[in-house]
Amino acid sequence: MKTIFKSTEVLNYKAFKVQNRSRIKPIFLILFSLLYSLSSIAQEQDSTKVNKLDDVLVSAVRVTTKTPVSFSNLDKKDIKYRNLGQDIPILMNYLPSVVTTSDAGNGFGYTGIRVRGSDATRVNVTINGIPYNDAESQGTFWVNMPDFASSVESLQLQRGVGTSTNGSSAFGASLNMLTDNYATKATGEVSSSYGSFNSNKNTVKFSTGLLNDHFELAGRLSSLKSDGYIDRASSDLKSYFLQGTYVGKTTLIKALVFGGTEKTYQSWNGIDAETLVNNRTYNSAGQYTDEAGNTRYYDNETDNYKQDHYQLHWSESFSDKWSSNLAIHYTKGKGYYENYKEDADMADYNLQPVGTITTTDLVRQKWLDNDFYGTTFSVKYKEEKLDVILGGGWNKYEGDHFGKVIWARYASQSEPGDHYYDDSSTKTDGNIFAKANYQFTEKLSFYGDLQYRNVKYKANSNETGLVDDNFNFFNPKAGLNYEINGSNTLYFSYARANREPNRTDYEGGNVKPEKLNDFELGWRFNSEKFQLNSNVYYMAYKDQLILTGTLDDVGAPIRANTEKSYRLGFEVDATIKLSEKFILRPNFTLSSNKNLDLAVEGAYYGTTNIAYSPNVIAGNIIVYSPVQSLHISLLQKYVGEQYMNNIELPAAKLADYFVNDLNISYEIKPKSIFKSIMITGLVNNVLDKKYVSNGYMYDVYPYYYPQSGINFLAGLTLKF
């Protein structure tokens, strides 16, 4: 079996982390000095209205039922029952049209998400309106911010193109997260969990509450560890979150510093079909044969990264009609992944032959040192019939890529610290947008959204060669919302999106930007005991960059333009209150995802299924609360069969699977010492289903990422 490692492009967003501490302190001081000076200005304001950050900031990126967009919300209450250490994509697993996977097989470490068949590189992610997707790869890596769910106030997943937002265009969905709101009273929280595969999470949170009715300081420290379901798929993760808040009569100012460090043993190689049957936890990463002919595993075949985020937000209410938000941000990432390479060609590492010896065993590190910074802004005007938001952002990415050989059996002329490659890249991304909701009549409203986006990308890379591209995109959106009566609403929308290629796409040459026309038709029903959201979507693509299911010579997923393709689907999600004790929350998606007139390397295949796009996705949550303090939930997920390539090879088909999780929580509210004691238990895959959620093709041979059978997590949370 071929051992496959991640590429430099994958490193871009996997291996970036060892913070330059000399930069932290001045930036930290700058943020809080700005916080102090802005608060002094804010105290001079005259109005009496208080705005929360989510009222002003989030209105620029979020929607309500008044907007003709398909979306789902999760808030802190929804998250807390299952927040035992698994990553944010795993916590989102039961939302409509969502499919998740885990490299380690148990939701710790590297996890992935697809929405409507679109992978994470096509899901736009923002944190308080600040872009989180890696600028070059367009991917998101939650392992860089472990236990971030503990600092999330709420999140919204908009399916399809959604509304205009900062960062790369959404081609499958956009996910925007709002971090913790300020607390008016002092609080403290300690939580711990432990479970299968020696998985554990320890978290400490605090808030001073509002001091002098104006200032709050809050923070969190977290530590997570897991051995993983897959052999040696261990993770050692740490994170922090600190925010200072000023609340004035018309002003809310927040300075945030958060980030994390991760060290994970690589588990992204997958296994072939025979190994899946005989040894499904096998991991080839780090395997080599020593000089005596013994099979061994390199003990530091790891990914190491540190990432720190700095955000400053100023939300202001000028009157009952006018409000604004301004943010500046900076993200620092630095780190590497490390591999043992057996019988490597010395020439590939700038090593001269030693006599007749031209190959050597060696240990290499591939590094990334990057900086991402910029600003976002929005101004909102609202009156009885009209709601207008003008906004935009400008962001710049600067990345240095380099490789080092830290050990070689035959080191030749090399010196410690030598680089065997040095690449650099810059990317600037600017956008402006205008959104408006206008109430034509009591029942009919119009939504319009215009965005202009400019992207400049330059790279000098061994993998991609010279890149110097400039893109100008115009993305219009419009829709109608019609309230039939107090319970029924119909909506229709059209959205246009354009998207630039990512770093690895340039490897294939002649790569084109992709275009999407997204049509959404929906019906919402709302009553006291029954809420229903349903919609039909048609997403027509031009030059869509589809996953081919194969990897390049260093393990990066290969994408290719397909001239014409579409996704047509029907989504339904509901909340059914059977009684005061029983609630059902079912959802399902039926879809058809097709390439049209597909030709690959001169061979014509006609109409085929798009890779990694199951036609059926369904979820259900059954909640039983016999008393107010006890919650018992059965969570169910079905994912239909899907192909791992676009030419529908029988060997490329992933089988369908149906998984059930059981979640139990019990809360005690003592009269002294603690405000709350919560005991939580989670049994994943209670029926011990042997299933595979992801894979890839090596030529015509499938490789798989198996997921864990039955496993558990249990936690205790104490609130003061």
pTM beyond cutoff 0.95: no
- What are the pLDDT digits (tens) for 233-243? 999 999 999 99
- Which residues fall within 8 angstroms of residue 198, CB to CB, at 6 or more apart? 225, 226, 227
- Which residues fall within 8 angstroms of residue 30, CB to CB, at 6 or more apart? none
User: Could you tell me which of 315, 335, 435 has the C-alpha nearest to residue 386?
Assistant: 435
Nearest-angstrom CA–CA distance, 703 and 609: 19
- Are 451 and 432 in contact by the 8 Å Cβ rule? The answer is yes
User: Could you tell me which of 31, 6, 10, 9 has the C-alpha nearest to residue 308?
Assistant: 31
- The reported pLDDT for the residue numbered 555 is 64
| CATH topology (fold) of 8-185+196-307+319-339+348-719 | Maltoporin; Chain A (2.40.170)
Strand bridging mode 557-577 / 530-551: antiparallel
- Which residues fall within 8 angstroms of residue 405, CB to CB, at 6 or more apart? 349, 351, 362, 363, 364, 411, 414, 418, 420
- The reported pLDDT for the residue numbered 554 is 60
Residues of the chain with pLDDT under 50: 1-54
Q: Which amino acid is at 562?
A: T
Q: Which two tokens stand for residue 685?
A: 């895959």
Nearest-angstrom CA–CA distance, 392 and 453: 9
Radius of gyration of the chain (CA): 25
- Are 103 and 111 in contact by the 8 Å Cβ rule? The answer is yes
Q: Angle at the Cα of 52 (from 46 to 57), degrees rounded to 5?
A: 105
Q: Which amino acid is at 338?
A: E
Q: How far is CA 169 from the centre of its chain?
A: 14
Nearest-angstrom CA–CA distance, 550 and 553: 10
- The reported pLDDT for the residue numbered 57 is 63
Q: Which two tokens stand for residue 52?
A: 């929360």
Coil, strand or helix at 37: helix
Q: Taking the domains of the chain in order of start, what are their residue ranges? A: 8-185+196-307+319-339+348-719
Q: How far is CA 70 from CA 158, 535, 588, 613, in A?
A: 6, 7, 14, 19
- The reported pLDDT for the residue numbered 58 is 67
Place of tokens 């009591």: 442
- Are 327 and 377 in contact by the 8 Å Cβ rule? The answer is yes
Nearest-angstrom CA–CA distance, 642 and 637: 15
Nearest-angstrom CA–CA distance, 485 and 525: 10
Strand bridging mode 123-127 / 130-131: antiparallel
Burial class (CB in 10 A: 0-12, 13-18, 19+), 173: buried
As a whole number of angstroms, the longest Cα–Cα distance in the chain is 86
Residue 327 φ then ψ, to 5°: -135, 145
Place of tokens 């148990």: 106
- Are 455 and 428 in contact by the 8 Å Cβ rule? The answer is yes
User: Could you tell me which of 574, 607, 613 has the C-alpha nearest to residue 590?
Assistant: 613
- The reported pLDDT for the residue numbered 118 is 93
Coil, strand or helix at 236: strand
DSSP 51-99: --HHHHTGGGT---TTSS--EEEEEHHHHHTT-SS--HHHHTTTSTTEE
- The reported pLDDT for the residue numbered 542 is 96
- Are 307 and 17 in contact by the 8 Å Cβ rule? The answer is yes
Q: Which two tokens stand for residue 465?
A: 């060669």
- The reported pLDDT for the residue numbered 510 is 79
Strand partners of residue 428? 396, 456
